[in-house]
Amino acid sequence: MNCPFCGYHDSKVIDSRDVNDGVRRRRQCLSCSARFTTYERLQPVSLFVIKKDQRREEFSKDKLLAGLRKACEKRPLPTGAVDKLADDIEAELYHQGKAEIPTTIIGDMVMERLKRLDYIAYIRFASVYRDFADITALKREIDSLVTDKTEVSRPTSQLSLLPNEELVTVAKGRPRSRR
Ligand SMILES: [Zn+2]
């Protein structure tokens, strides 16, 4: 892990803490003394997704993130909310311990979370992912959201439950090592 500030190759660990699915370490660069945080996760060798046409493809969090970002574009979400969502899904997928997971399952996980986070993003994602056959199907989905008001009107501020430090790390866009 190179220092994100000066690129130096070595750092010392000044604090180490177990988090849900791995270890979070505070490190200090041995060259410029800057401090940064790394996350280390246990992961199986690989996780494959089974696509609709039955082809297998290695799970890519970048792809997941790209889809999420697109859905959440210009939405007033707390900084780091999208990354947090992708992290959560990734963690849950690996937690299941399976070698293969159908894309439909991942899509459902995303929809479930987006629904709670931001309903516009949810509709955007759903319209791509579910490939709504016609406008009636889309309208039905929107109607069900309106009826389901308790779900929809929940404030997005629930994500501020993140520890402050973590939010800051995400906000600064510091590289967060996975290994
Ligand atoms: Zn440094």
**Same domain flag for 50 and 34:** no
pLDDT tens across the length of the chain (179 residues): 789 999 999 999 999 998 877 889 999 999 999 999 998 876 656 889 998 889 999 999 999 999 999 999 999 998 899 999 999 999 899 888 888 999 888 988 998 999 899 988 988 888 877 765 555 666 777 777 666 655 444 445 444 444 444 444 444 444 445 44
Ligand 1 centre from 7 Cα, in Å?
6
137 occurs within a structural domain = yes
**Same domain flag for 94 and 114:** yes
**Same domain flag for 50 and 37:** no
**Same domain flag for 27 and 51:** no
Ligand 1 centre from 10 Cα, in Å?
8
Instruction: Identify which of 46, 50, 61 has the alpha carbon closest to the alpha carbon of residue 97.
Output: 46
Ligand 1 centre from 130 Cα, in Å?
46
Ligand 1 centre from 36 Cα, in Å?
9
Ligand 1 centre from 9 Cα, in Å?
8
What pLDDT does residue 125 have? 87
The DSSP call for residue 74 is T
108 occurs within a structural domain = yes
For β-strands 56-58 and 100-102, DSSP reports them as unpaired
Instruction: Identify which of 85, 88, 117, 77 has the alpha carbon closest to the alpha carbon of residue 20.
Output: 88
172 occurs within a structural domain = no
The whole domain housing 14 covers 1-42
What is the rounded distance in angstroms from the CA atom of residue 159 to the CA atom of residue 105? 23
**Same domain flag for 66 and 111:** yes
**Same domain flag for 35 and 120:** no
Number of helices (H) and strands (E) in the chain: give both, helices first. Answer: 7, 6
Ligand 1 centre from 173 Cα, in Å?
16
β-bridge partners, 50: 56, 102
What pLDDT does residue 96 have? 84
Instruction: Identify which of 66, 117, 64 has the alpha carbon closest to the alpha carbon of residue 94.
Output: 64
Q: CB–CB of 33/55 below 8 Å?
A: no
What is the rounded distance in angstroms from the CA atom of residue 64 to the CA atom of residue 89? 9
**Same domain flag for 35 and 109:** no
Q: Can you give the pTM of this predicted structure?
A: 0.52
**Same domain flag for 19 and 76:** no
**Same domain flag for 66 and 140:** yes
**Same domain flag for 131 and 50:** yes
Ligand 1 centre from 6 Cα, in Å?
4
Segment holding 112, helix H or strand E: helix 103-117
66 occurs within a structural domain = yes
**Same domain flag for 142 and 87:** yes
**Same domain flag for 27 and 75:** no
Q: State the amino acid at position 53 in one-letter form.
A: D
173 occurs within a structural domain = no
What is the rounded distance in angstroms from the CA atom of residue 159 to the CA atom of residue 149? 19
Total structural domains within the chain: 2
Place of tokens 């180490």: 16
Q: CB–CB of 56/49 below 8 Å?
A: yes
**Cα-atom radius of gyration of the chain, to the nearest Å?**
19
